[in-house]
Structure 1
Amino acid sequence: MANAEQRRFEVLRAIVADYVSNQEPVGSKALVDRHNLGVSSATVRNDMAALEEEGYITQPHTSAGRIPTDKGYRLFVDRLSEVKPLSAAERRAIVQFLEGAVDLDDVLRRSVRLLAQLTRQVAVVQYPTLTSSTVRHVEVVTLTPSRLLIVLITNTGRVDQRTVDLGDVAADETVARLRDLLNGALSGHRLPDAAAKVSELPEQAPPELRDVMTRVCTVLVESLVEHPEERIVLGGTANLTRNVADFPGSLRQVLEALEEQVVVLKLLAAARNPGSVTVRIGEENEDEQMRSTSVVSIGYGSDKVLLGGMGVVGPTRMDYPGTIAAVRAVATYVGRILSGK
């Protein structure tokens, strides 16, 4: 029985491979001609009938061909024994492209572009969640005698700049003391904790710095709280229009759903651990508008700290082994860059 089940899975795997490649329903004769299954056409037809009865493949119309169902894709993905490895040249290209980034925003923009190009799907990358980021440094720069620039830099490379109008002239010595107090209180702390400390700083400041510190902290707290509108970068949506037939419902529904931040963040919610890939296929997606898509997602960060999620969205007719390899590789390199490794 085990041999029969394994043979049927090989037939399913061949159907998935041909349908992903050609977008045409697959018949038994084509399977025998293209794949070394080691059995007769009659046996393949019997195996296809069994697979159809079990719900792994279906007949889209009256032709002899069959296509995989969501259930069939799920079995295929669950039994992937090996993920198609990226070539050494592809890995080098990823590293060189990402290491050329100048800041966090650039890293994420490049990551999205890379994923969209490698997979030919829609790529999504979530900004590092502020709850897991820490303050690396606070710089205070004099713009004019009465105006300062506050630059908050996190351990993930995020840079947030705010200007502060002091209402009075601040000497260089005052600015230096201000910088020392801010870094002494905030450096190394997670952003939510730093936000709480900022509210206490004016009270703790020397009397002569209290007014300046109050103005600075009022502005600085804005840099320490989550900004949902900045949380994702999306790219490659035009890739979905290459094969409208892959979306039997409505491609427009999918595109509209991708414009909703909440929907996209939900797609990445399964990405809990750096390096662990999650695949949601068709009906497994919570949002009804996304039921004709598959989502391959992963967490990125260091071994111990999850910074955010990334992934790709495409039709269920997807090159799963290649897509999983690309998502995993890009996430690995982004995690290393943002973790400073």
Structure 2
Amino acid sequence: MLDDRKLQVLRAIVSDYVSSQEPVGSKALVERHNLGVSPATVRNDMAALEDEGYITQPHTSAGRIPTDKGYRLFIDRLAGVKPLSVAERRAINTFLSGALDLDDVVTRTVRLLAQVTQQVAIVQYPVLSSASVRHVELVSMTPDRVLVIVISSTGKVDQRSIEIPGHAESDLADLRALVNTATVGATLSEAAANLGALSGRVPAHLTAPAAQVTSTLLEILGTSGATRVVVGGVPNLTRFGDEFETTVKPVLEALEEQVVLLKLLGEAAIPGDVTVRIGQENPYRELQTTSLVASAYGSDGDIWASLGVVGPTRMDYPSTMASVRAVARYVGRFLAEG
């Protein structure tokens, strides 16, 4: 374990390198930070930190930069995640408060995270075990086509277009009443089970169109629980500068893989806590030049999904961790109240 003074030097190196993106020398540390020791002592501390693998010298005669191990110690020794200011909390709440439905919430959350952290934001669609069907609508589009619309209690809207040749408005009204009776107020799985038992209660002249509507509704309800990931703020990767070919290109390719992102976010499983994976700690080679800061969101211990950001290992960890945790809490609260 490092003594307090060496930890102070490491914190100073991390702080300066994050802000300047340039290797940090002992002279600069003494000038910028009130370390209370001589430059010679700082040089000795830096040599000890380098020997133990917490910092490294990228070029001869250059200053030092933190290693993944150094960032990890820096994060582990943070005195908790710093709270956001009143203005920051108000800005997050205002940004989300105008959301119209679940898609809008996810879209706004991605934009918000990318904006406040200046990193690439990743938000997983929530899988709400308590979500229920609010309404099913059947809308005649043409004499032969009908639009099937399902609205869930979260405000999520799914729709499919199907063919029902020569349908009458009265038939649609009867079908609408039947499927709403079977589904409204039921959870997605309960609604699917109720629809499966609906065939015995359908009038003979509606058997064929009812089968099409029921099949479409089962398809919609089945995919509503499937999760996916939305990515935003990719232009923030330009902060990698000249490292595009070696760093940014592989990251972009990894960000296109939904399965990779879902597994990556899957480790952030506890609402309120923040998970940080630094460089080589990431299990995916393409992302080992980056860090992930993530948190789960939900309500009353019910985890719905995760969100987070991916960015350079030299990111501002205290601010990023605070922002990710705050946004996760606000999203969970917002969806629970909705």
TM-score by length of 2: 0.90
Q: Cα 1:143–1:80, aligned 2, differ >3 Å: closer, same or farther?
A: same
**2:329 partner letter:** T
Residues 127 and 227, structure 2, Cα contact 8 Å, conserved in 1: no
| One of 30, 33, 36 as aligned partner of 1:32 | 30
CA distance in 2, matches of 1:170, 1:211: 13
Q: What whole-Å deviation, never above 9, does each CA across 1:267-292 have from its counterpart, x for those lacking one?
A: 21112122221111001111101000
**1:68 partner letter:** P
Structure 1 residue 159: deviation in Å?
Answer: 0.7
**2:134 partner letter:** R
| One of 105, 123, 126 as aligned partner of 2:124 | 126
Residue correspondences, number: 338
**1:291 partner letter:** Q
Residues 147 and 165, structure 1, Cα contact 8 Å, conserved in 2: yes
Comparing 9-18 with 193-202, greater Cα deviation is found at 193-202
Unmatched segments (≥5 aa) in structure 1: none
Q: What whole-Å deviation, never above 9, does each CA across 1:22-42 have from its counterpart, x for those lacking one?
A: 111112221121112222223
Match of 2:102 in 1: 104
Match of 1:331 in 2: 328
CA RMSD, Structure 1 to Structure 2 (Å): 2.6
1:241 equivalent to 2:238? Answer yes
Match of 1:50 in 2: 48
| One of 249, 255, 269 as aligned partner of 1:272 | 269
**1:294 partner letter:** S
CA distance in 2, matches of 1:314, 1:238: 11
> Residue 339 of structure 1 aligns to a residue in which SS?
helix
CA distance in 1, matches of 2:143, 2:291: 56
1:308-323 to structure 2, matched below 5 A, reads: 308-323=305-320
Q: What whole-Å deviation, never above 9, does each CA across 1:256-315 have from its counterpart, x for those lacking one?
A: 111222222222111212222111100111110100000111112212322221111101
Match of 1:179 in 2: 176
Structure 1 residue 64: deviation in Å?
Answer: 4.6
CA distance in 2, matches of 1:40, 1:51: 17
CA distance in 1, matches of 2:295, 2:104: 20
Structure 1 residue 143: deviation in Å?
Answer: 4.5
| One of 207, 216, 220 as aligned partner of 2:217 | 220
**1:77 partner letter:** I
CA distance in 1, matches of 2:321, 2:119: 12
Q: Cα 1:320–1:123, aligned 2, differ >3 Å: closer, same or farther?
A: same
**2:76 partner letter:** D
Residues 126 and 227, structure 2, Cα contact 8 Å, conserved in 1: no
CA distance in 2, matches of 1:292, 1:227: 34
Residues 132 and 307, structure 1, Cα contact 8 Å, conserved in 2: no
Residues 131 and 188, structure 2, Cα contact 8 Å, conserved in 1: yes
CA distance in 2, matches of 1:259, 1:228: 21
**1:289 partner letter:** E
Residues 271 and 278, structure 1, Cα contact 8 Å, conserved in 2: yes
Identity percentage of aligned residues? 60
Match of 1:163 in 2: 161
| One of 40, 63, 69 as aligned partner of 1:65 | 63
CA distance in 2, matches of 1:327, 1:62: 37
CA distance in 1, matches of 2:90, 2:111: 16
Match of 1:81 in 2: 79
CA distance in 1, matches of 2:106, 2:179: 28
Structure 1 residue 18: deviation in Å?
Answer: 0.5
Match of 1:296 in 2: 293
CA distance in 2, matches of 1:103, 1:142: 24
Q: Cα 1:221–1:71, aligned 2, differ >3 Å: closer, same or farther?
A: same
Structure 1 residue 209: deviation in Å?
Answer: 4.1
Structure 1 residue 242: deviation in Å?
Answer: 2.2
Residues 26 and 43, structure 2, Cα contact 8 Å, conserved in 1: yes
Residues 84 and 323, structure 2, Cα contact 8 Å, conserved in 1: yes
> Residue 249 of structure 1 aligns to a residue in which SS?
helix
| One of 150, 153, 156 as aligned partner of 2:151 | 153
**2:41 partner letter:** T
Q: What whole-Å deviation, never above 9, does each CA across 1:168-199 have from its counterpart, x for those lacking one?
A: 43454x54543343233333444344334433
Structure 1 residue 147: deviation in Å?
Answer: 4.7
Match of 2:192 in 1: 195
TM-score by length of 1: 0.89
Residues 132 and 306, structure 1, Cα contact 8 Å, conserved in 2: no
Comparing 53-62 with 257-266, greater Cα deviation is found at 257-266
